[in-house]
Amino acid sequence: VPDGVGGNVLGLSISAQYVGQVAGPLLGGFAGGHFGMRSVFLGTSLLMAGGAAYNWIVQSRRTRNILAQAGSS
């Protein structure tokens, strides 16, 4: 992270965490009340699977780029 943006990145990260801590229970309670608790667990599972797939794809690209740069030098 460049020197000038470290504080901004930290602020955004912490803000996103707090938004999730407030919005998660609100949305989970709404979904559980209207659609049943099974929908809450299904929705959480889908979000977790989507996040895992995203991280896997991004990490694969980063690894390929690092290996390509190491091979060219």
DSSP string for 2-66: -GGGHHHHHHHHHHHHHHHHHHHHHHHHHHHHHH-HHHHHHHHHHHHHHHHHHHHHHHHHHHHHH
pLDDT digits (tens, 9 = 90+) for 11-65: 999 999 999 999 999 999 999 999 999 999 999 999 999 999 999 999 988 888 8
Looking at the structure, do residues 44 and 72 belong to the same domain, yes or no? yes
Of 52, 42, 55, residue with least CA distance to 63: 55
Looking at the structure, do residues 50 and 68 belong to the same domain, yes or no? yes
Looking at the structure, do residues 42 and 73 belong to the same domain, yes or no? yes
Looking at the structure, do residues 70 and 42 belong to the same domain, yes or no? yes
Looking at the structure, do residues 10 and 26 belong to the same domain, yes or no? yes
Looking at the structure, do residues 29 and 42 belong to the same domain, yes or no? no
Query: Whole domain around residue 71: which residue ranges?
Result: 37-73
Looking at the structure, do residues 47 and 70 belong to the same domain, yes or no? yes
